Amino acid sequence: MAFKTCKGCGGEVSTKVDKCPFCGAPVKRRLGLIVIIILGLILLGAIIDLFEERSEIANATSVLKYNIIKRQDYSYINTPRMKFICILNVTKIPSEAQIKETAIHIWKKEKRRKAWKELTVQFWLPDMEYEMEGKKYMGTAYAVAVFTPRALKEWLLMKDSLLGTKWWRKKAQFDRGVKIRSLEEKVRKIPVSKSSQNLEIYRQLLDLDPQNSKYKKKVTFYKARVEEQKRKRERGIAIAEAQVVCNKFKLVTKVRGSTLDFSVDTDLPDNTVVMVSVSRSYMQKGNPDRYCVDYFSQKGIIGKWKSKHRISIASEKWKSALRAKQKQMSKIGLGFDVASISDKITVRMVVPINQPDPRFGKRNSRLTGMAVRTTGLRVVEDEIEIDYPLDSPPVGKSPFPSLNPLELEITQACIVSRQTPLMPSHSPADPLKNLQKIKQIPKGGVFMVLEKVKKRGNPWYRVLAFDQRKNRIGTGWINSTALLSQKLKAYK
């Protein structure tokens, strides 16, 4: 038992009594350690609740106003999934951070979020429509957020969905303003002495704002400075060397099986820069022009080529180069089929006009001699054609179909690089009902073209679509504008 001294009489009394048994004075009890801990925890909880409340108030200020116009259950194979279609109540394009914060707010606010394996929130801006044949249609969502029961899984902001809507001009004006501010900040750090850099940036600014008098004056000022600096440099270069003379420039070639030996016989200085190429030409179907694919192409100095060089002219080497070119062109939508291939190999060597040796003068102005071309550009060149037919020429259809979104062919299959809307109809009688039935081809999904219809110059494709796991989504229509900004891949 603990004791303490009574303040009234000075006697020893127990800490568990309320009054002193000797004088009747009240005895103050000490709070126990457990009581103090409990009170501390209560106070700490109150402080945490206060901070959380203030945090929620701060976050709410960054949440945009919105209306959920549709809640769509699109569960499959015992996998519960829900989709919210939302319209943002805004008058200007919000930032990506604001839209993302709003999506998170909707997700946190939804009490049933843990019951769904996946919750998708799609955002449209007000009046985000495009016109076709006098009718208005909803396009692709501007932003999409995909949540798991625990957190944000995927986020997409699709700026191209504004194309053709009233928001596209606002976006262009906003982007132009951002670029102007960025260039102005950049040019402020460049000293006046660096005239060329200043001129380049002020020309860009003038292109963005042609009526700005400040930019016009700056361009005029720095253009005059650049021209004056150029004149000073030209006056400071003394012509210290005599003219370069070339009276002889002839290629010497010899075919040995699948190789070609060649050199040049010339009196030009060894440091003269030359362009050397060995190529074969072909023609594309539907195109009257001739194009070349090189066996060999190199820029070097002529001293190296005065001695014999040997290169391969095997048929397979050229055919591989042709296939590489067809593949490259098909990726940018310019694939081609081969109509014919030349039986000749062309060997060419040319002395270009921009020589580093000052003795040649500007644009070879001081290059003279019997081998120099007298009309047009002052160059020296020689070209030889050698009969050397190709084994099994690859004439005909390209093995790499063109992936131009505007020129897809029926039965062609492609992999999409982002989520793509699959419309039930390309010209619906009821656009709103059509919008409610839109399906989505996910990123990495596949579609095969079944039919092609042109509407106002832009093709629509009726397709059979599948998701990434090759589960059938169904048939529908894709607007080619939804494919323009994508990196389509051919699906075999």
**Spans of all domains in the chain:** 3-59, 66-165, 169-236, 244-387, 413-490
Amino acid at 215: Y
Give the residue from 461, 465, 438, 466 showing the smallest Cα distance to 450. Answer: 461
| The two three-digit tokens of residue 265, written as one number | 């016989």
Residue 8 exposure: Cα atoms within 13 Å on the Cβ side: 11
Cα 381 to Cα 134, 246, 270, 290, 372: the distances in Å are: 61, 11, 16, 20, 8
350 pairs with which residues across the strands?
275, 381
Distance separating alpha carbons of residues 106 and 86, to the nearest angstrom: 10
Give me the pLDDT at residue 375, please: 85
Q: What global pTM score does this model have? A: 0.40
Which value, to the nearest 10 degrees, does the dihedral of the CA atoms of residues 417, 421, 425, 426 take?
Answer: -60
Give me the pLDDT at residue 58, please: 41
Going across the sheet that includes 489-490, the strands are 472-479, 458-466, 446-455, 413-415, 489-490
Amino acid at 414: C
**Cβ-contact 157, 99 below 8 angstroms:** yes
Helices 167-188/195-208 angle, 10° precision: 160
**Which one-letter DSSP state was computed for residue 146?**
E
Give the residue from 242, 168, 181 showing the smallest Cα distance to 208. Answer: 181
Give me the pLDDT at residue 333, please: 62
User: In the chain, which residues have pLDDT < 50?
Assistant: 53, 55-60, 238-240
Three-state DSSP class for 154?
A: strand
What is the total residue count of the chain?
492
Give me the pLDDT at residue 264, please: 94
Give me the pLDDT at residue 113, please: 81
What pairing do the DSSP bridges indicate for beta strands 290-301 and 273-284?
antiparallel
Q: Tell me, rounded to whole angstroms, the distance of Cα 146 from its chain centroid.
A: 22
**Cβ-contact 416, 444 below 8 angstroms:** yes
Burial 345-362 (b: 16+ CB within 10 A, else e): bbbbbbbbeebeeebbbe
Distance separating alpha carbons of residues 318 and 297, to the nearest angstrom: 12
**Which one-letter DSSP state was computed for residue 399?**
S
CATH of 244-387, one of 2.30.30, 1.10.8, 2.60.40, 3.30.300: 2.60.40
Give me the pLDDT at residue 49, please: 58
Give me the pLDDT at residue 298, please: 92
